[in-house]
Amino acid sequence: MADPTAPLVAFGRDLRARGLPVGTGRILTFIRAVASLGLGDRDSLYWAGRVSLVASRADLDAYDAAFGDWYRSLGAGPSELSIQLDLPAEPRSIEWSRDADDMKVEVGHTAGSWRAAADDEEPEPGEESSIRIVASAVEVLRRKSFAELTEDERHRVARMIHDLTVRAPVERTRRTRPSSKGSTFDLRRTLRRSLRTQGEPFDRSFRVRRSRIRPLVLILDISGSMAPYSRALLQFGYAAMAAGRRVEVFCFGTRLTRVTRTLRTKDPDRAMHEVARLVADWEGGTRIGESLKTLLDGWSQRAALRGAVVVLCSDGLERGDPALLRAQMARLRRLAHRVVWANPLKGSPRYEPLARGMAAALPSVDVFLSGHNLESLETLAAALGA
Amino acid sequence: MPELAFADVDELRDALARHAYLADRGLATAIYLSLSLGKPLLLEGEAGVGKTEVAKVLAELLDRRLIRLQCYEGIDASQALYEWNYARQLIAVRAMDATDAEQRVEDLFGPEFLVERPLLAAIRAGDEAVLLVDELDRADDEFEAFLLEILSEFAVTIPEIGRVDALSPPAVIVTSNRTRELHDALKRRCLYHWIDHPDLDREVEIVRARAPHVGAALARDVAQAVARLRDLDLAKRPGVAETIDWANALAFLGAERLDGVLAVDTLGSVVKDHEDQGLVAARLAEVVGEDG
């Protein structure tokens, strides 16, 4: 074997090919880990790889599968590997500069959205928590139900949704910033300023709580008849995300899929296409309660839900147990700042929320509206601000 | 690479066991590699599986000082790194004569006015310390980015005093309950290990190690019941910490085996959510294994 690290690198690359975020830095750590453990038995290799190449519980299954394949491909076993793997300890500085470079790219990439999310947008008291959507839309298209759009119109509406200016509501955080008046005394600044006046604290400073934009969470029903409406809301989510807001998007039919990452690309058409590919049960049945439960239970997204504005788009025709839906909606209501249910059926004047699922969910819904056309999306925006 | 007190993973595992911490192979490997590669170890897992405990035991084991940074919403650099003692500074300023201003500033921002917070303490202590960054998911993104900087450099520049450097970095354990996904850049800096609930036999051992006065039969009963509880569809699944609490509570009441009546009386030490309690109460016989 020419280069003893080659199979290790190959394993890292294989994981990357399977979609795990394995960079050169991680592979380097993996090689050092194997060198450090010395032993070449299966367990050591397994754990060395698992702690250095995997960074999320969600990736563990993929890792296990890849590891099995790779280990079998080693054939006789890796004993010959480990003996030669007596790498010199790497000088710290080199590793850092290497990591640091590749890190800068990453941080630079997301820093924009971080900062945007934490922006100190000082809202005027009146317009606090108002989502304003300013649309330059053709009137007819605004009123036309999403389900009745032709392919061409759908593209035009999609573009209109992209032109929307989305302003999200804000929440106060525990962080503070300096202010000339406020409730908390800022000793640090007061002291600094007192130096100008021979140590007399004439000029007093205070701190006030900062505010930040509340996250927006979209939970979209993509089953059967709901698909056209959800696609429109998906566009809405994409627009909000492009504006640098904290947005999480989930799709569900029979089961829940998180599509936030997929939406985070530059090209909206490609993003929609990717989402369609990712979501297995696009236009299948509806299990709202179960899907919500998956969301509330497992995901690390609970923090994204906490204090968030949650928009759920579904016709409420639940195939599962309405009692489950009722309980999960109550949980959601306790976590979120505001729960909005957009039900396109409500667009029909004769609609009454008699579906069992809808009736079960309604007690936990702050705002119930239609969301079946562009105009109603504006209503939705107004409702969020209330 | 720093000198290690342990020849291999098994030796570390035995040493942990002597300090009443029973780690499985994966966790022991993770800790071993974290120490030998000098990389922070990010531990995730459900509440009560012993993430924080790892740092405590490690400090004991290595005979190092445990420095704990408990994260919370709104934590910032002045609460994590250092702060000046402003009240003292104000008094000092008032006590000073009117000399030139520059001299005064220098006097005021000397080491005696510096309040050391956990991160600075850890940098100063270097490899004499184990730094525990607890529940990082509670802090916000900005703090995470700040922490990343510290974990990369293990050095900090205080403008008024100068640069503080760790000659060799402390051992670092970062824990997260996954209420929020941590940022990739930070994860990349760390080794990662997901701590799962232990299997039945190990959990019995853990209870016996942590609560030596609990009898073997009771320990097994409790561990079995908790394992069944975890299979129920609870909003808050009990962790190992709850298993130990429950065993302790039962032993305190003089129980030698677990039965339905005792379980009802002590349910509060293991199931801590109102709706969950209702669910468990309905299926209690099944949980304590009394339905045959």
CATH code for the domain in which residue A349 is found: 3.40.50.410
Cα–Cα separations (whole angstroms), residue B71 to A235, A304, A323, B184, B267: 36, 18, 37, 19, 30
Nearest Cα residue to B217 out of B230, B226, B208: B208
Cα–Cα separations (whole angstroms), residue A175 to A34, A65, A125, A359, B80: 43, 43, 19, 40, 14
Nearest CA in chain A to B104: A195
B86 → closest Cβ in A51, A175, A191: A191
Determine, yes or no, domain membership for A363: yes
The rounded distance, in Å, linking the Cα atoms of B171 and B248 is 32
Looking at residue A268, what is its pLDDT?
64
* Residues whose CB is less than 8 angstroms from the CB of residue B227 and which lie 6 or more positions away in sequence, other chains included: B200, B203
Q: How many structural domains are present in chain A?
A: 3
- Clarify whether residues A50 and A146 are in a common domain: no
Higher pLDDT, A201 or B271: B271
Higher pLDDT, B155 or A173: B155
Residue A124 has pLDDT above 50, yes or no: no
CA triplet B195, B198, B200: central angle to 5 degrees? Answer: 170
**Mean local confidence (pLDDT), B29-37:** 93
List the structure tokens of B26.
């994966």
Indicate the pLDDT class of residue A284, thresholds 50, 70 and 90: low
Determine, yes or no, domain membership for A134: no
- Clarify whether residues A199 and A231 are in a common domain: no
Determine, yes or no, domain membership for A122: no
Determine, yes or no, domain membership for A98: no
Ranges A298-302, B3-7, B43-47, B271-275: which has the least confidence: A298-302
Looking at residue B251, what is its pLDDT?
93
- Clarify whether residues A312 and A352 are in a common domain: yes
CA torsion B277-B281-B282-B288 (nearest 10°) is 120
In DSSP terms, B165 is beta-bridged to: B155
Which residues of chain A neighbour B82 with C-beta distances below 8 Å? Answer: none
Looking at residue A117, what is its pLDDT?
31
Give the highest mean pLDDT range of A69-83, B3-17, B52-66.
Answer: B52-66
DSSP secondary structure string for all residues of A199-233:
T---S--EEEEEEEEPPEEEEEE-SGGGHHHHHHH
Looking at residue B133, what is its pLDDT?
96
Give the highest mean pLDDT range of A317-321, B83-87, B95-99.
Answer: B83-87
- Clarify whether residues A286 and A189 are in a common domain: no
A339 Cα to chain B: minimum distance (Å): 20
Residue A199 has pLDDT above 50, yes or no: yes
pLDDT digits (tens, 9 = 90+) for A257-271: 888 877 777 666 677
Domain boundaries, chain B: 9-81+117-195, 200-287
**B165 part of contact set with chain A, CB < 8 Å:** no
- Clarify whether residues A79 and A201 are in a common domain: no
**Mean local confidence (pLDDT), B13-26:** 92
- Clarify whether residues A204 and A245 are in a common domain: no
**Structural contact between residues A288 and A325, judged by C-beta atoms closer than 8 angstroms:** yes
Indicate the pLDDT class of residue A85, thresholds 50, 70 and 90: very low
Ranges A29-33, A284-288, B60-64, B231-235: which has the least confidence: A284-288
Higher pLDDT, B10 or A280: B10
B33 → closest Cβ in A36, A43, A99: A36
Indicate the pLDDT class of residue A105, thresholds 50, 70 and 90: very low
Ranges A212-221, B201-210, B246-255: which has the least confidence: A212-221
Looking at residue B171, what is its pLDDT?
94
pLDDT digits (tens, 9 = 90+) for B117-141: 999 999 999 999 999 999 998 888 7
- Clarify whether residues A154 and A294 are in a common domain: yes
Residue A116 has pLDDT above 60, yes or no: no
**Structural contact between residues B280 and B267, judged by C-beta atoms closer than 8 angstroms:** yes
Nearest Cα residue to B44 out of A231, A300, A385, A283: A300
Residue window 14-33, chain B: list those with CB within 8 Å of chain A: 25-26, 29-30, 32-33
B219 Cα to chain A: minimum distance (Å): 29
Residue A130 has pLDDT above 70, yes or no: no
The rounded distance, in Å, linking the Cα atoms of A350 and B267 is 50
Determine, yes or no, domain membership for A97: no
The rounded distance, in Å, linking the Cα atoms of B248 and A106 is 48
- Clarify whether residues A62 and A73 are in a common domain: yes
- Clarify whether residues A296 and A149 are in a common domain: yes
Nearest CA in chain A to B78: A188
Looking at residue B145, what is its pLDDT?
87
Looking at residue B3, what is its pLDDT?
57
Domain hosting residue A50, numbered range: 6-90
**Mean local confidence (pLDDT), A175-182:** 79
Residue B230 has pLDDT above 60, yes or no: yes
pLDDT digits (tens, 9 = 90+) for A335-379: 888 888 888 777 776 666 667 778 888 888 888 877 777 777 777
Residue window 244-263, chain B: list those with CB within 8 Å of chain A: none
Residue A307 has pLDDT above 50, yes or no: yes
Looking at residue A302, what is its pLDDT?
55
- CB count, 10 Å around CB of A229? 28
Indicate the pLDDT class of residue B208, thresholds 50, 70 and 90: very high
Nearest CA in chain A to B83: A188
Residue A80 has pLDDT above 60, yes or no: no
DSSP secondary structure string for all residues of B24-42:
-HHHHHHHHHHHHHT--EE
- Clarify whether residues A84 and A158 are in a common domain: no
Residue window 316-335, chain A: list those with CB within 8 Å of chain B: 327, 331
A203 Cα to chain B: minimum distance (Å): 13
pTM attached to this predicted model: 0.68
**A93 part of contact set with chain B, CB < 8 Å:** no
Q: DSSP code of B86? A: H
Higher pLDDT, B239 or A178: B239
Determine, yes or no, domain membership for A127: no
- Clarify whether residues A192 and A338 are in a common domain: no
The residue out of A197, A212, A227 marking a domain boundary is A212
Residue B169 has pLDDT above 60, yes or no: yes
pLDDT digits (tens, 9 = 90+) for A22-38: 888 888 899 888 888 87
Cα–Cα separations (whole angstroms), residue B148 to A27, A107, B141, B190, B258: 20, 11, 11, 10, 47
**Mean local confidence (pLDDT), B211-238:** 91
Residue B210 has pLDDT above 60, yes or no: yes
* Helices of type H across chain B: 9-18, 25-37, 51-62, 77-80, 86-95, 101-108, 118-125, 141-153, 184-189, 200-210, 216-231, 240-252, 260-266, 274-282, 284-287
**Mean local confidence (pLDDT), B112-119:** 91
pLDDT digits (tens, 9 = 90+) for B239-259: 999 999 999 999 999 989 998
Highest CATH level, class, for B9-81+117-195:
alpha beta
Determine, yes or no, domain membership for A112: no
- Clarify whether residues A294 and A357 are in a common domain: yes
ipTM above 0.90, yes or no: no
**Mean local confidence (pLDDT), A98-125:** 32
